[in-house]
Each structure stands twice: as structure tokens, then as C-alpha cells.
Amino acid sequence: MIVDYHMHLRNGREEIALATWTVDPFVSAARAAGVDEIGFTEHIYYFKQARALLDHPYQTERCVYEIEPYVAAVVEARRRGLPVKLGLEVDYVPGREDETREILAPYPWDYLLGSVHFIDGLGVDGQEPRMLDVLGVEESWRLYFETLGAAARSGLFDSLSHPDLVKIFGESPASFDYGPIVAAIAESGVAVEVSTAGLRKPVRELYPHPEFLAACHDAGVPATLASDAHSPDVVGRDFDQALELLRSVGYETVTVFEQRRGRQEPLG
């Protein structure tokens, strides 16, 4: 089984297009790439329902769509028998867990991704002000993983997206202890995503780092596969490298989600 559990429902020109026809090119691309099942995970910050959670202009400027057409587009595709799952990429906002839960409650998610793109108004992956510029590398890493651990423990999420996103620009401390974050993830029962998106960023590495993923495997943390595609041609991109990484640290299964329950299927 090969899944691609992180992509954004766009019309092929990176524009939001929340109609069921926009699902089909992603399904065709998945078939061509040898991917058995895909999951859509649009950013929560595109939807008006999340407005109260957001404070960074990058997010509030985008927060103009209703969530129902997105949910309906994917649910309709699922009803047509297409191998698609309904997800959402949700920004973790510390202290706002109850509101986040309420916003998400009405919809039939197969899984929810937890992401940390902003911390206290600072951008982790490039939005100004960049956390790395303001806090430096060591403190950015410490704060990022502290926040990711809280995201894991919040119980809001089924899987953590691009789990070491803070390395995106290739800046990292001389050494880093993944022990605490792996413990938080393992105790909370969330999965980690192996994402090929990092290969297309300045760091030019998969997320997460092999040492991080190996510790996740040894702690019994389940894994998923992800391209973070914003257009159909990226679905399943570089999955040979993601599979190689997963196998190299010992993974033999991948997580398949349905109605927020995960099960393990043989990988590949």
C-alpha cells in the first residue's frame, strides 16, 4: 500500500478550486505514480471558520472561503468510489485547543494533520518575521519542537506534517536531542509524516531527519507518506526516496486512516 496523505485541492494553477472535478486530476496523477490512495489536506487558514484562531496576515488574508464546498468536493469523490480521504492541515495554536476542536467537530474527517507554521506570530517556514532571524537557530529549534510536542499531546491530530519543518532553510544546531519530541509523539499515539516536500526546499532533505524517524520507529510511532502537492503533477513525487528512508529505519507498514482511526497496511 502506498498513500499520499498530504495535498492541497487546487485547480492545477495553485489556485484554490473547491469543486469535485478538481479531485479527478489528483486521482489520475496518483494512479500514474503508483499511489493507491490519496488524502486532501487543505490549510485550515483558507476557511472563514478558522478566522478566530488566526492572527498572522499571511493567514488572515487567505481566510476567505467556506469550508463546506471543500468537504463536499472530497466527500462526493469518496462517494463516487475514488480512493480519496478527507483531511485538513490544521495549524496548532497553543492555548486554543478547545476552539480548534469545535471548529473541526462538524465534519467527517478521515484524519487531521497537525502543523506548526507559526509560533507567536513568527514564521517557521519563511513568512516574515522569520523565527530563525528573530530567535536564532538553537532557540528556534527548541521552541519549534516544544510546540510540536504540545501539538502531539493536544489530542487534536492524527498525524504530524513535515515534522522537522524548522530545518527548511538548512540551518540546524550542531547536535539535537530528538528524545523528548519522540517521547511526546509516542505517548500521544499520533503518526508522523514522511514528506518529500523538503527535497524541494533549500534544505533538500526529506522530512523528518533519518535519526528522528529512526527514533520514531523504535518508539512504535506509526508513519504516513506525503508529497505536500499543490498541483497534481507533484502527487507521489520522489516517493522512491521516502520508501527507502522508511525501510532503512525499519518500517514495514504504513498508516491508512478512515474516520479518524488508523490501521497498518504493508508498505509498498
Smallest separation, CB 7 to Zn ion (Å): 8
Applying CB under 5 A, the span of 68-76, 115-123, 141-149, 240-248 interacting with Zn ion comes to 115-123
Binding test (CB under 5 A) with Zn ion, winner from 115, 159, 195, 255: 115
Smallest separation, CB 257 to Zn ion (Å): 16
Applying CB under 5 A, the span of 53-61, 66-74, 179-187, 227-235 interacting with Zn ion comes to 227-235
- Contact indicator for 163, 193 with CB cutoff of 8 Å: yes
Nearer to Zn ion, 158 or 228 (CB): 228
Nearer to Zn ion, 128 or 252 (CB): 128
* Contact map string, positions 239 to 268, toward Zn ion, x by CB under 5 A: ------------------------------
- Contact indicator for 69, 48 with CB cutoff of 8 Å: no
Applying CB under 5 A, the span of 180-188, 209-217, 224-232, 233-241 interacting with Zn ion comes to 224-232
Set of cell numbers at residue 235: 502527487
**Helix H or strand E segment including 104:** helix 97-104
- Contact indicator for 238, 196 with CB cutoff of 8 Å: yes
DSSP annotation of 208: S
Binding test (CB under 5 A) with Zn ion, winner from 27, 228, 236, 245: 228
**H helix runs in 125-200, sequence order:** 131-153, 179-188
* Total chain residues near Zn ion (CB under 5 A): 3
What's the rounded Cα separation, in Å, for the pair 183 and 267?
Answer: 24
Of the candidates 199, 202, 204, the residue with the CA atom closest to the CA atom of residue 226: 199
> Residues in the site for Zn ion, rule: CB under 5 A?
89, 115, 228
